[in-house]
Copies of this chain bind each other. A is one copy, B any other.
């Protein structure tokens, strides 16, 4: 896929296209028009054509998009074909659920390590990986060079730990803690999963709809 400029707002929407196209592929569809895809995704055909403008090689006027090529092309843009090495920090209840139930490969990551401070947890296996002590973080990172960290630690532990990880070469954070890593470090990439924030938005919507 040729490098082309794609705006950040389109990038934000690509995972959703990717999911829908994956479903269509699984159901055996091979081509889809922008109008049909629009109906399924609750968008307009012109939005879709605009968003997928850079993939126009995969669409032919009147014939629709080739689903598999579009799916693979979006996957390539998102970097899913070249998984990023990641480590999990904090293997408490949330960490275990996430590690054991997410197919990281499917989303562009390889989980290569897991760390905790709790002696009860260290040495146990999670998703086929032995949980290491946080004391082993430096040695592990210098050997395996993970680029991403999944932060399943309490918010209080996040500031110091994120500093340490950035020092060890981590450039991307999947952040479940309520600490905003990006404020001190705008140079790193962060995706937050803030349960509380989404609940508060829902609270507003339910009361004002």
Q: Is A114 an interface residue (CB 8 A)?
A: no
User: Which range contains the number of A residues in contact with the other chain?
Assistant: 35 or more
Residues of A that sit less than 8 Å from B by CB: 11-12, 14-16, 18-19, 40-42, 77-80, 82, 84, 93-94, 96-98, 100-102, 104, 106-109, 147-148, 171-174, 178, 180, 182-183, 186-209
A41, B183: Cβ atoms under 8 Å? yes
B40, A200: Cβ atoms under 8 Å? no
Contacts of A187 in B (CB 8 A): 209
Contacts of A84 in B (CB 8 A): 203, 206-207
Most chain B CB inside 10 Å of its own CB: which residue of A82, A172, A180, A207: A207
Known: A78-B204, A204-B77. A197 touches B42 (CB 8 A): no
Q: How far is the CB of A128 from chain B (nearest CB, A)?
A: 17
Q: Which of B41, B189, B202, B209 contacts A174 (CB 8 A)?
A: B202
User: In the docked arrangement, what's the CA distance between A164 and B191, Å?
Assistant: 33
Contacts of A98 in B (CB 8 A): 195
B108, A100: Cβ atoms under 8 Å? no
B93, A15: Cβ atoms under 8 Å? no
Contacts of A108 in B (CB 8 A): 199-200, 202-204
B209, A171: Cβ atoms under 8 Å? yes
14 A–B contacts from the bound complex (CB under 8 Å): A14-B204, A79-B204, A80-B200, A84-B203, A84-B207, A93-B100, A102-B199, A107-B199, A147-B206, A171-B209, A174-B198, A188-B209, A189-B202, A192-B198
